[in-house]
Chains A and B, each alone.
Chain A
Amino acid sequence: MKEVSSLIDRILFYALVPSFFILLYLIFIWSPVEKVMGVTQKIFYFHVGSAWVAFLAFFVVGYYSVRNLIKPNMKHFIFAGASAEIGVLFTTITLITGMIWGRASWNTWWSWEPRLVTTLILWFIYVAYLFIRKMDGSWEKIAKLSSVFGIIGCLNVPIVFMAIRWWNSKLHPIVFGEGKGQSGGGIEPEMLITLLFSVFTISLLYVFLMRKGAEIERMRVIVRNQKNKLMNKLAS
């Protein structure tokens, strides 16, 4: 079991390194430069990839929270925590790349627009979730409390999106699909391939980080248990 797990880790790692180089090549050399926005548009590939992972990580947290409430399980608890930590990281990257891109193309760092605000609120919910996990007490208790919050937070995200969409919506380009009265801007085939590859690579990175994060957390638990055992031995 342990060997299989380390084999998966190794395969992931060896897949990850070349794909990142290919991704950089695709983004900076292969894909065409956008006509209006110029080179700044290249940040789009990282931005969309991290945004996708940020929301994916959140739904993974929700999924493991539900599993945890049905039946408390140390492994699911650890997975939810690792996913939330990676989620904070990728949400931060999404916000920062988004701001840089927004400054270049809309001439403003921030605008109160549905997707931006939803991402920001997602970030706050993630951080609050991690605060709950830092509470002291037995892991069963924290697992219950944090799972409850994870589920409530998951419920909230679509409502935030809807609310802000009603509030005002003008700036974000709708690239894919044709909504009502908002026809898609369209995308070059080379750009689409690069984008899909970037989403793939960043998702791979997410899986890799998730496995590593869970492993570190598991080691922490082992060390803590050993420490408690030793303390009890010394005390008695």
Chain B
Amino acid sequence: MKDILSDAITIAGKDLSNEFKTKQTIGTMVIFSALVILVFSFAFDPTNNTVKAVIPGLIWVITIFSGTLGLNRSFVSELENNCLTGLRSAPIDVTSIYLGKTLANFTLVTIVQTISIPVLFLLFNYRFTGSLLWFILIVLSGTFGFIVVGTFLSALAANAKNSEMLLPVLLLPLLSPLMIAAVQATTIVLVNEQISDAIGWLQLMTAYDLLFLGACFLLFEFIMEGS
């Protein structure tokens, strides 16, 4: 178990240092989420007061849209020069590849969120008054579930020629319960309702995260065998 974790951290470090050198994916993700916010500001007039109601939904829409871009690259970029074969033939447990990729993607998406969510609040002129700690906890657990399932499916979709098109089709139906919980919990925190209502949703998200982390952890081996 310790080996798997340390190998996973090595792989995540490799991915992240590669990414910070080129800044290709992360740059695209940030710009893309800013553009999504721009498009939404045309769709819903930000000066209108009722727009406050859509902000929790917007947070998750920009996370999923920009996150999917990053997830697409996660395994497809390993196909160049047969890097994936190299990873698989390395003397490590296959699941450490999954964990490493999950860690790297989670870090990337979190970085994008720390830029895009304040930008969203700024452009929609939203004054944050809720509990910051709970808000961060909810955003992190929602994002973690998204990345757990997303990384797994991006490995699966990388086998197809049209993996960029396949990934969202596979991913979004599986994310639906997580997104319901995340949007509801975010709404409760942002409109300053009682935090105790949000705890039920937070529990659902945690259960989803752990269940899918376990399932993906066990099933990842079969994906790597298949490719």
Docked pose: A149 CA to B219 CA in angstroms: 9
CB distance from B64 to the nearest CB of A (A): 15
Decide yes or no whether B223 CB sits under 8 A from chain A. Answer: yes
Q: Are B200 and A166 in contact (CB under 8 A)?
A: yes
Q: Are B170 and A135 in contact (CB under 8 A)?
A: no
Q: Are A152 and B219 in contact (CB under 8 A)?
A: yes
Which of A20-28, A123-131, A185-193, A223-231 has 4 or more CB atoms under 8 Å from chain B? A123-131
Partner of A145 from the list B159, B177, B184, B208 (CB cut-off 8 Å) is B159
- Mask for A65-81, Cβ within 8 A of B = 1, else 0? 00001000000000000
CB distance from B185 to the nearest CB of A (A): 11
Q: Are B226 and A140 in contact (CB under 8 A)?
A: yes
Size of the chain A interface, CB-CB below 8 angstroms: 32
Q: Are B222 and A131 in contact (CB under 8 A)?
A: no
Decide: A132 near B172, CB < 8 A? Known: A148-B223, A155-B215: no
Docked pose: A11 CA to B184 CA in angstroms: 53
| Contact size range, B | 20 to 34
Q: Which of chain B's residues has its CB closest to A164's CB?
A: B180
Docked pose: A137 CA to B226 CA in angstroms: 10
Which of B172, B177, B215, B223 has the most CB atoms of chain A within a 10 A radius of its CB? Answer: B177
Inter-chain contacts of B156 with A (CB < 8 A) = 132, 145, 148-149
Q: Are A141 and B211 in contact (CB under 8 A)?
A: no
Docked pose: A117 CA to B177 CA in angstroms: 11
Q: Are B219 and A151 in contact (CB under 8 A)?
A: yes
Decide: A151 near B215, CB < 8 A? Known: A159-B177, A160-B177: yes
Decide: A125 near B223, CB < 8 A? Known: A135-B159, A145-B156: no
Inter-chain contacts of A148 with B (CB < 8 A) = 156, 219, 222-223
Q: Are B166 and A131 in contact (CB under 8 A)?
A: yes
Inter-chain contacts of A166 with B (CB < 8 A) = 200-201, 204
Interface positions, chain A 79-127, Cβ under 8 Å from B, are 117, 121, 124-125, 127
Q: Are B169 and A131 in contact (CB under 8 A)?
A: yes
Docked pose: A145 CA to B170 CA in angstroms: 12
Inter-chain contacts of B215 with A (CB < 8 A) = 151-152, 155
Decide yes or no whether A156 CB sits under 8 A from chain B. Answer: yes
- Mask for B130-158, Cβ within 8 A of A = 1, else 0? 00000000000000000001001100100
Decide yes or no whether B181 CB sits under 8 A from chain A. Answer: yes
Q: Are B211 and A155 in contact (CB under 8 A)?
A: yes
Which of A142, A147, A152, A166 has the most CB atoms of chain B within a 10 A radius of its CB? Answer: A152
Docked pose: A156 CA to B180 CA in angstroms: 13
Partner of A153 from the list B174, B177, B204 (CB cut-off 8 Å) is B174
Docked pose: A14 CA to B157 CA in angstroms: 43
Inter-chain contacts of A174 with B (CB < 8 A) = none
Q: Are A159 and B222 in contact (CB under 8 A)?
A: no
Interface positions, chain B 194-217, Cβ under 8 Å from A, are 200-201, 204, 207-208, 211-212, 215-216
Decide yes or no whether A163 CB sits under 8 A from chain B. Answer: yes
Docked pose: A131 CA to B103 CA in angstroms: 28
Decide: A131 near B226, CB < 8 A? Known: A152-B212, A162-B177: no
Decide yes or no whether A42 CB sits under 8 A from chain B. Answer: no
Q: Are B173 and A163 in contact (CB under 8 A)?
A: no
Inter-chain contacts of A124 with B (CB < 8 A) = 169, 172-173
Docked pose: A163 CA to B202 CA in angstroms: 12
CB distance from B214 to the nearest CB of A (A): 10
CB distance from B175 to the nearest CB of A (A): 9
CB distance from A125 to the nearest CB of B (A): 5
Decide yes or no whether B227 CB sits under 8 A from chain A. Answer: yes
Q: Which of chain A's residues has its CB closest to B174's CB?
A: A156
Docked pose: A173 CA to B172 CA in angstroms: 29
Inter-chain contacts of B177 with A (CB < 8 A) = 156, 159-160, 162-164
A145-B222, A148-B156, A163-B204 are known; give 18 further A-B pairs, CB within 8 A: A124-B173, A125-B174, A131-B170, A132-B160, A140-B226, A141-B227, A142-B226, A144-B226, A148-B219, A149-B153, A149-B156, A149-B170, A151-B219, A152-B149, A159-B211, A162-B177, A166-B201, A167-B180
Top 8 A-B pairs, shortest CB-CB distance: A144-B226, A163-B177, A124-B173, A141-B226, A159-B177, A135-B160, A163-B180, A128-B170
